[in-house]
Chain A
Amino acid sequence: MGRDPVCAALGLALAVAYYTAADALPRSLLADGVGADGVPKLLAAVLAVLSIALGARSLLVGASATAADDPGLRRHLRALGVAVLGAAFVGVAPVLGYPLALGLLVLAATLYYGAAPRPQVVIYAAGTAAILWLIFARGLGVALPAGLFG
């Protein structure tokens, strides 16, 4: 199956979910004639129409992007791994502190992007974390979490 029908189905599902959430919004005494839910409901309806049109077009014309040019599930998961590394940073930074968590992020990302596991990678990660900590904490005065060092 091509990607367009999947895209259309996801768009339709999102439109339904968004409309339901808009319908559940509380009514305010300060509301105008349109209301807080007016524009969101219109957007949901337009998205539903566009999704149906995309699905219909892909069935009539044929899918423009098919599984043949798909780089494969493993590669998609590998790409998603970058976001997972970032999410892990978000999770551990308040506990470990910004410098240590950032050093670990740089170390993990350098290896994840294909660098050979060598001592230079550790030195690079520590150096990058130190430089960015100096720029943000000392240079820009951003309050960074100290974590274990706090």
Chain B
Amino acid sequence: MAELALAWKALASSWAVPAAFLGVAWGIVGGALPGISPSIAMALLLPFTYGMDPVAAIVILAAVYVGAEYGGSIPAILIRTPGTNAAAATVIDGFEMHRQGRGGEALGISLVSGLVGGLFGLAVLVLATGPLARFALAFTPPAYFALGVLGLSVIAGLSGRSLLKGLIAGILGFMIATIGTDPVSGVARFTFGSADLLGGIRPIVVMVGLFAVTELMVQVIEPAWARAEAHAARLKLPDWATWKRIARPQAIGAAIGTFEGVTPGAGGTIAAFLSYNEARRWSKHPEEFGQGSVEGVAAPECANNVVTGAALVPLLGLGIPGSNSAAILLGGFLLHGLAPGPMLFEKSPEVVYGLYAGLLVANFAMLALGLVILTPCLWLVNRPKPYLMAFVLALVVSGIYALQASFFDVGLVLGAGVLGYALRFFGIPQLPLVLGVVLGFLVESNYRRALVLSSGDHSVFVQDPISLGLLVAAAAIAAFSLRRELGLARQERAASP
């Protein structure tokens, strides 16, 4: 009851409700533009939240995530170009429905399935995060160190096809985190005499560079995307018969989306494709899949919206971001001096419960805005790409400058963009680097603090039961990933002539 009161108070006393609507609107528009992923849409908005009330700031960022997952299905259905990675599975039957003159019906199913998925994901978030955070309240410095190690072990799951490259990215991120003043002795490290680097490199600068600037660099060598025909898109909400047909694929999407959402590194794309596959397996009309099946749209759209809530469980409960979008949301917390994790529930409960309430508003805002925003979205999708990209570049440099009125930060964000481009060139995943940047300070400072408290005795990390448990879990994740890596290497060797 106290939590409900906090949520209501947070909503009533801040700009959270308008923020939810604004965030969803920006998310739908951003998601509808090919090349602007949910994380990029969030990253572009991040600097604008600097001067905002913390509750409204976090709600607007989370609402962008909600809106972008629906927005990504608009070009997927209308021009066979997924606006987000997670909408790729929607292309299969969504575009086929559009070709059959049922594009409006596909958009309607996408919208309501997104609402169902979003609300389910929110329920998972509310029910799972509190107990996780209460358990984490018993953490000591050794346990916090072990938690950081557990977070870094997640890199194994985020490494794509190469664990080695994922680990290299994580180390690079950790190296970036060591720049600045040493947390114990106060010595300036790797600043090369620059006063601008004494405070370290902010994670937000690295994130915006890696996600937004890198994408701007990639887009300049990519061809223009197709045009959407505005007259073909009149949104049609599903009738009762359709609701009955899409209930089962929505349930499948909800179950798979929950599992994939709370698993760091899995995310909406995998959830969408797995849900599509399982919906076809359990369907009474599997032959319709690929031919314009309503179930083939409902399952992936429900799954990727469940992920928007479920992916925040490890972030809010433990402070570990498991996806690009969660990492950007973490950047939003850090920007306002808030550290996600167990202490957030103690120190700033109004932010947590305000976020829950804001997400509820955001999901209904998606339904309301989804009905009216289609035409402006199509107009934007049909604008020439050079104008859009130039606007995004101007927004990035202006937003980053505004954080500290520093051109040095703008230079850093461009440098991070070049680094991100190089990482893509070498096939090195970006998210482990972000994890390294975010968790590096937590790991090093708590490692050294624990050793100071134990007079340099390393056994403190195995004497603390929580620390021991977390280290064992981290080792298990690492061992599982190593086994998978070795299996993949064996397969590659067997396949090579």
| A interface residue numbers (CB < 8 A to B) | 3-4, 6-7, 11, 18, 21-22, 25-26, 28, 30-36, 38-40, 43, 46-47, 50-51, 53-54, 57, 61-62, 64-65, 71, 75-76, 78-83, 85-87, 89-90, 93-94, 98, 102, 105-106, 109-115, 124-125, 128-129, 132, 136, 140-144
Contact = CB atoms under 8 A, between A and B. Distances in A.
A22 B178 CA distance: 10
A114 B187 contact: no
Contacts of A40: 175, 178, 189-190
Contacts of A21: 190
Contacts of B398: 102, 132, 136
Contacts of A25: 187, 189
A90 B407 contact: yes
Interface string B217-258: 111110010000000000000000000000000000000000
A80 B421 CA distance: 9
Nearest to A15: B171
B284 interface: no
Contact of A7 (B218, B221, B426, B451): B426
B493 A115 contact: no
A43 B164 contact: no
B447 A39 contact: yes
Contacts of B372: none
B417 interface: yes
Question: On chain B, which size bracket covers the interface?
Answer: 35 or more
Given A54-B165, A61-B492, A43 B389 contact: no
Contacts of B219: 113
14 contacts: A28-B182, A30-B184, A32-B184, A32-B185, A39-B444, A50-B171, A62-B492, A80-B217, A86-B410, A110-B387, A132-B394, A132-B395, A132-B398, A142-B401
Contact of B417 (A39, A83, A102): A83
B477 to A, nearest CB: 17
Contacts of B484: none
B427 A65 contact: yes
Contacts of B456: 33
Given A18-B175, A57-B489, A82-B213, A129 B394 contact: yes
A47 B175 CA distance: 10
A51 B384 CA distance: 42
A14 B427 CA distance: 18
B336 interface: no
A114 B389 CA distance: 10
A32 B448 contact: yes
Contact of A128 (B51, B189, B390, B447): B390
A114 B390 CA distance: 11
A23 B175 CA distance: 14
A129 to B, nearest CB: 7
A14 to B, nearest CB: 8
Interface of B: 48, 50-51, 161-162, 164-165, 167-168, 171-172, 174-175, 178, 182, 184-187, 189-190, 213, 216-221, 224, 384-387, 389-391, 393-398, 401-402, 405, 407, 410-411, 413-415, 417-418, 421, 425-428, 444, 447-448, 451-452, 456, 489, 492-493, 496
Contacts of A81: 220
B385 A114 contact: yes
> Which of B398, B421, B448 has the most CB atoms of chain A within a 10 A radius of its CB?
B398
Contacts of A50: 164, 167-168, 171
Contacts of B421: 79-80
A111 B171 CA distance: 38
Contact of B220 (A79, A115, A141): A79
B161 A64 contact: yes
Given A65-B427, A132-B398, A85 B393 contact: yes
A75 B218 CA distance: 9
A113 B389 contact: yes
Contacts of B175: 18, 40, 43, 47
B187 A109 contact: no
A106 B175 CA distance: 34
B394 A105 contact: yes
Contact of B186 (A28, A33, A75, A89): A28
A36 B427 contact: no
B493 to A, nearest CB: 6
A125 to B, nearest CB: 8
Closest 5 CB pairs of A and B: A113-B386, A109-B390, A28-B185, A115-B386, A36-B182
Contact of B168 (A51, A87, A140, A144): A51
Nearest to B162: A64
Nearest to A21: B190
Nearest to B184: A32
Contact of B185 (A3, A35, A112, A136): A35
B481 to A, nearest CB: 14
A113 B171 contact: no
B386 A111 contact: yes
A140 B489 CA distance: 53
A53 B182 CA distance: 30
Contacts of B216: 82
A61 B189 contact: no
Contacts of B402: 136, 140, 142
B395 A3 contact: no
A47 B390 contact: no
A46 B178 contact: no
Nearest to B167: A50
Contacts of B387: 110, 115, 124
